[in-house]
């Protein structure tokens, strides 16, 4: 951030008095521009024993497989956002949603809220950000071609629960393995 979005003046980066970390500060209008984590909402779309994955059409990790997910919009509930992202990326509708995983990703200042839920039908199609959308049985999940560590973690928790016969809410902190991209990855 270089310029103040209120008055256009050049910003200074420093620790304001009474604070404990650097902020972007405008010396003309005195606004402090706080930057805080973004919330990403997504789904695990189920159809019988299969899950719907999307192959990314955009960087980073273009060509890799992921679950439908993206940034929560202002004035939107997490569940509505998760449904919207599923519609946008996979052209799919879900019936009921259940909270499944809440992950911190402090290395990119994001929080992920993932829901699971059944597809309303097999009517789905790739949206603009997807090359391909398809159902995978557990044995066919492309583990070596998953886009992000958080997707791998979510799927591992999912199949672990399903194989144990009981779904629960998972929480945790994602640390990317070496080689995984460290930049924000959701559009």
Note the residues at the interface with Zn ion (CB under 5 A).
4, 6-7, 9, 26, 28-29, 31
CA angle 165, 171, 173 (to 5 degrees): 135
Q: Which is nearer to Zn ion, 26 or 113 (CB)?
A: 26
Q: Which is nearer to Zn ion, 2 or 182 (CB)?
A: 2
Nearest approach in angstroms of CB 10 to Zn ion is: 9
Nearest approach in angstroms of CB 11 to Zn ion is: 8
Q: Which is nearer to Zn ion, 8 or 63 (CB)?
A: 8
Q: Which is nearer to Zn ion, 9 or 58 (CB)?
A: 9
Nearest approach in angstroms of CB 19 to Zn ion is: 17
Give the Cα separation of 117 and 120 in Å (integer): 9
Give the Cα separation of 52 and 94 in Å (integer): 11
Q: Which is nearer to Zn ion, 27 or 132 (CB)?
A: 27
- Angstrom CA distances, 16 to 6, 53, 116, stand at 18, 45, 42
Nearest approach in angstroms of CB 18 to Zn ion is: 19
Element containing residue 78 per DSSP (H, E): helix 78-90
CB-based contacts of 107, cutoff 8 Å, min separation 6: 174, 175, 176, 182
Other CB atoms within 10 Å distance of the CB of residue 79:
18
Q: Are strands 130-137 and 50-56 parallel, antiparallel or unpaired?
A: antiparallel
- Angstrom CA distances, 47 to 11, 40, 44, 118, 137, stand at 51, 23, 10, 6, 10
Nearest approach in angstroms of CB 36 to Zn ion is: 19
């Amino acid at each position: 951030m270089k310029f103040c979005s209120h008055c256009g003046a050049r910003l200074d980066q420093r620790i304001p008095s009474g604070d404990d970390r650097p902020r972007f500060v405008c010396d003309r209008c005195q606004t402090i521009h706080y930057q805080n984590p973004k919330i990403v909402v997504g789904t695990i779309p189920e159809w019988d024993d299969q899950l719907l994955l999307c192959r990314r059409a955009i960087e980073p990790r273009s060509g890799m497989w992921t679950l439908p997910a993206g940034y929560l919009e202002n004035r939107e509930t997490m569940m509505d956002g998760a449904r919207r992202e599923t519609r946008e990326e996979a052209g799919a509708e879900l019936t009921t949603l259940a909270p499944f995983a809440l992950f911190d990703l402090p290395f990119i200042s994001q929080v992920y809220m993932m829901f699971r839920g059944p597809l309303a039908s097999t009517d789905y199609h790739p949206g603009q950000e997807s090359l391909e959308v398809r159902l995978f049985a557990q044995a066919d999940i492309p583990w070596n071609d998953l886009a992000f560590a958080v997707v791998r973690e979510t799927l591992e928790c999912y199949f672990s629960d399903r194989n144990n016969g009981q779904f629960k809410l998972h929480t945790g902190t994602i640390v990317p393995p070496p080689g995984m991209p460290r930049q924000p990855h959701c559009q």
